[in-house]
Amino acid sequence: MADATITVDTSQRIGVINPDIYGHFIEHLGRCINGGIWAEMLPWTVGVRNPDVLAHLEHDVEAGAHIRLRLLRDDALFRGVSHGGLCVRAGGAYSLQCSVQTSGKVRQIRISLGGATVTRSAPAGRWERLDVQLPARWDADDAALTIAACGSGELLVREASLMPAEARARGGLRSDVLDMVKLINPPVIRWPGGCFADAYQWRDGIGPRDRRPVRFEPAWRDFEPNDFGTNEYITWCRAVETEPYICVNTGSASAEDAAAWVQYCNGPAASEWGRARAEEGYPTPHGVKYWGIGNETYGSWEIGNVPAADYARLFVQFAERMRAADPDIKLIAVGADPVAHPDWNRTVLEIAGEAMDYLAVHWYGPHKRDDAKQSEMYHSIVAAPLDIDRRLRLVAATIDEVMGEGSGVGIAFDEWNVWLDATGDTGIAERYELRDGLFAAGVFNCMHRLCDRVTMANLAQLVNVLPAIVTSPSAAWGTPLYHAFRLYTGSCQPVCVACETDGPTFSSPEFGNIPAMPDVPYLDASATASEDGQVLALSVVNRHMTDDLSAQITLADGRTISSATAAELSGESARATGSEAAPDAVSISLADVDASGDTFTHTFPAHSATVITLGLE
């Protein structure tokens, strides 16, 4: 006898699922962009231990990092500075670009990396741009790039950039990350933040990269080299075939700044900022459709934190200026969690509702780690999509109460993820387990059921920070979150149809900001169908930590099954996780399913997520 029943009725359409719910988010934080998406292997730090050399690293806010190298002894030896800890692989070519200038009696410059050496004559009294290819001769995880000179006098080095040559050829984009992102086919990716957005001055990230200023970035308190700016972001979006979603700065910039950014991206080449874009090699407008106005302005941590009414008036001002630059853009307003900030959404909607297309909501949890309570953490996290469902329905109800049903204001769930440790580099890196992939699958099922309300969502974040993808200097691999995206984007269909589950339940404990919940179903299911109704995808999460559960699956609409296959996300245990050494510890397996007629039984393994695809007659 089966443990549960799942009944699907394809004749009852819940609604059409907007593919934008499978979106992502990247931010200038940790190694998400610099050290993740972006292939830069520096920034430079001075490494020199030689009594015959004086070296000094200078941060020029207008022109980046300069190294000033003074050679004190005039002989045939090369002396210089090194940047160590670089990962190179034999046969790989590495591209160094920098500008150099010499004075005094410096005769030659020598550059070396991984056994490759290039020597050039010294450019006396003038800046010379170097573009050097360095083919590594051996594998090393701690190679050093050395720039040295012989003679006496000064060598100045600025705007140093080192990348794998193949990444340089792709505009600076890391190829392994780019290829992995393409596999999950993200429909929309939000940038540049997050908290970073409300300190970001977009003009710092345009123009020639070797002339962009290095800024101290106050949101995350780090130096931002501005290598990855608007055009790099758009280039990356086009490479992974996704729609860009830009969040503008309301914390330290004006509505006029935001409007200028819209014109830079979307204006014709004859417009003021469109001309600037065209002069940089992009004559065709970027056509950015989605624009967020500010980020988490309800929070005391946010640059530009203001009360709801003040933010709403600011939103209206920004919306007017931005739509004057492009009337076709879609605007996302800052919404808030309705439990933590019960009055925010109503106030913003009452003042600015007519000017917005989406109201954004964020959720992270549980903001707590207790490794001695693995079972409690597991059950709370896999049950959390029920609490997310409750909160999103509260937001939807407020939209309807203020704007009226059918207002067209959608919910953008544009930051969501499991976040245990909310402090430090270790916290933002998060080592995700299969448990967290099951959580993501549960969130997808929730958004399927709320498809008429949640029309965009963005996992925070894509690479290295609360990551779907993790990188080392020489490899990239997917976390269980990544594989949950692969499972759903690769199998689910566009129309949500009626699906009822009846089976065993459990009570989840309160853990961090996730409340205790009774009667949590062990089996969580959603059903999606193709537009013509010929294909049905049944997505099922087995939340049970240790037990397989079987379900009798019935089609209640007179349809019969012509074919059946299953894609299953699983691992040895609920704590399984991918790593560089074992990237497939959590993986997706494919199998045929024994199913015919209108009823069949299937067993769902413990701690797994499965999508059964049925051909229907």
Nearest-angstrom CA–CA distance, 410 and 201: 28
**For the chain, what is the domain count?**
3
pLDDT digits (tens, 9 = 90+) for 358-385: 999 999 999 999 989 999 999 999 999 9
Task: Provide the residue type at 581 as one letter.
Answer: A
- Report residue 145 as tokens: 């790039």
Strand pairing category for 140-150 and 153-164: unpaired
Is there a single domain that holds both residue 230 and residue 372? yes
- Report residue 21 as tokens: 């719910």
Predicted pLDDT of residue 209: 85
Task: Check: CB of residue 559 under 8 Å from CB of residue 10.
Answer: yes
Name the nearest CA neighbour of 72 among 48, 101, 99: 48
* Residue 282 belongs to some domain of the structure: yes
Predicted pLDDT of residue 63: 45
Q: Pick from 104, 134, 167: which residue ends a domain?
A: 167
Q: The domain containing residue 544 runs over which residues?
A: 4-10+498-616
* Residue 245 belongs to some domain of the structure: yes
Is there a single domain that holds both residue 374 and residue 254? yes
Is there a single domain that holds both residue 421 and residue 541? no
Q: Pick from 167, 183, 213: which residue ends a domain?
A: 167
Helix or strand holding residue 308 (H, E)? helix 308-325
Task: Check: CB of residue 28 under 8 Å from CB of residue 192.
Answer: yes
Predicted pLDDT of residue 422: 56
Predicted pLDDT of residue 376: 97
* Residue 46 belongs to some domain of the structure: no
Q: Evaluate the CA torsion angle 209, 213, 214, 216 in order and state its sign.
A: negative
Nearest-angstrom CA–CA distance, 24 and 479: 14
Name the nearest CA neighbour of 559 among 16, 12, 17, 4: 12
Predicted pLDDT of residue 65: 54
Task: Check: CB of residue 495 under 8 Å from CB of residue 530.
Answer: yes
Is there a single domain that holds both residue 89 and residue 31? no
Q: For position 83, which CATH number holds?
A: 2.60.120.260
Strand order of the sheet with strand 128-135? 53-60, 64-71, 153-164, 93-104, 128-135
Task: Check: CB of residue 571 under 8 Å from CB of residue 434.
Answer: yes
Low-confidence ranges of the chain (pLDDT < 70): 44-66, 422-427
Task: Check: CB of residue 529 under 8 Å from CB of residue 8.
Answer: no
Is there a single domain that holds both residue 322 and residue 299? yes
Nearest-angstrom CA–CA distance, 46 and 413: 43
* Residue 481 belongs to some domain of the structure: yes
Query: How many helices (H) does the chain have, and how many strands (E)?
Result: 11, 32
Is there a single domain that holds both residue 114 and residue 200? no
Nearest-angstrom CA–CA distance, 270 and 589: 53
Helix, strand, coil share (%) of the chain residues, nearest 5: 25, 40, 35
To the nearest 10 degrees (0 to 180), the angle between helices 255-266 and 272-279 is: 50
Is there a single domain that holds both residue 481 and residue 348? yes
Predicted pLDDT of residue 50: 54
- Report residue 224 as tokens: 């931002």
Is there a single domain that holds both residue 540 and residue 571? yes
Is there a single domain that holds both residue 250 and residue 112? no
Predicted pLDDT of residue 66: 67
- Report residue 271 as tokens: 């417009």
Q: pLDDT > 70: what percent of the chain?
A: 95
* Residue 45 belongs to some domain of the structure: no
Predicted pLDDT of residue 575: 95
Residue 540's DSSP bridge partners are 525, 610
Is there a single domain that holds both residue 197 and residue 304? yes
Is there a single domain that holds both residue 31 and residue 117? no
Is there a single domain that holds both residue 193 and residue 328? yes
Nearest-angstrom CA–CA distance, 271 and 269: 6
Predicted pLDDT of residue 57: 52
Q: For position 365, which CATH number holds?
A: 3.20.20.80
* Residue 337 belongs to some domain of the structure: yes
Nearest-angstrom CA–CA distance, 115 and 135: 8
pLDDT digits (tens, 9 = 90+) for 486-506: 999 999 999 999 999 999 999
* Residue 240 belongs to some domain of the structure: yes
Q: Pick from 435, 458, 493: which residue ends a domain?
A: 493
* Residue 44 belongs to some domain of the structure: no
